Amino acid sequence: MNNPRYLVPDGTYMADPAAHVFNGRLYIYPSHDIESGIPENDNGDHFDMRDYHVLSLDSVEGRVTDHGVVLDLNDIPWAGRQLWDSDCAFKNGSYYLYFSLKDKNDVFHIGVAVSDRPEGPFLPQDNPIKGSYSIDPCAFEDQGSHYLIFGGLWGGQLQRYRNNKALECGKEPADHEPALCPRIARLSDNMLEFAEAPRDLVILDPSGQPLKSGDHDRRFFEASWMHKHNGRYYFSYSTGNTHLLCYATGDNPYGPFTYQGVILTPVVGWTTHHSICEFRGRWYLFHHDSRPSGGLPDNDAKHARPPCHRDAMR
């Protein structure tokens, strides 16, 4: 990458940047990490996010405006704990913030909050989206239809589900079996519900076979993102425990998508989360790493735990 730039001020820890252009201005919707005091573990209990901020810029080189808290955990009626990744979409004069949150039973669902401004504040709905589960919603618009793509393994709980049903003892498939897929669902006209049952977004290897669960260098782990360029659909994602950002291409939002390669090699920290956005004629990759909180490179440790913060956005 040329001339990477940190967008978050010192002492503030933000991650999972979802970047969009609204009204000619660049807006970034991150998660907001804190020092939770909870021991690190593979379920991510130490990522105890409690609110969301919105950042905006007139130019990539310009001053970053932090619009402050736009949604707080305490304002969400169904909240348990942990506001993880979010994304935002626009339709008919309203902005819809989709967010990951555990309910009072410690189960992740996806909620919606609405505003008449891209910088919020956002008013949450009383309940999560019916039929939603897991984490990392990506809001994608194509030819007038809006889609939500979501899912994440381990702490993201995707391994607990098959065919949109929760399993009592869900786990990842065996290494030789097809990997778990992210999910995609078209949103209803009111942007508050699924218009259909979520489907598997299948990622194939170049020979046309679904990626295997044991293929940790290529299989999906978390951090869905979709964009379109010259009529092609690009689905990018994190491999999690192997610390890569990869991408695949397809002919429509539902796929199948064919694996193409690596976008970003391991950053400082355990994993990364990103978005890809065109702004004023140029394409940009936004991602986080953990330099400001003292994270150390851990590029080849397949079972290392993450540092305390996934925090600096570039």
CB 274 within 8 A of CB 222: no
Calpha distance 308→302 (Å, rounded) = 17
pLDDT tens digit string along 85-131?
Answer: 999 999 999 999 999 999 999 999 999 999 999 999 999 999 999 99
pLDDT tens digit string along 55-68?
Answer: 999 999 999 999 99
Least Cα distance to 79 among 98, 54, 100, 97 occurs for 100
The topology (CATH level 3) of 13-195+274-313 is: Tachylectin-2; Chain A (2.115.10)
Domain boundaries, the chain: 13-195+274-313
pTM here is 0.93
pLDDT tens digit string along 227-258?
Answer: 999 999 999 999 999 999 999 999 999 999 99
Give catalytic residue positions: 16, 222
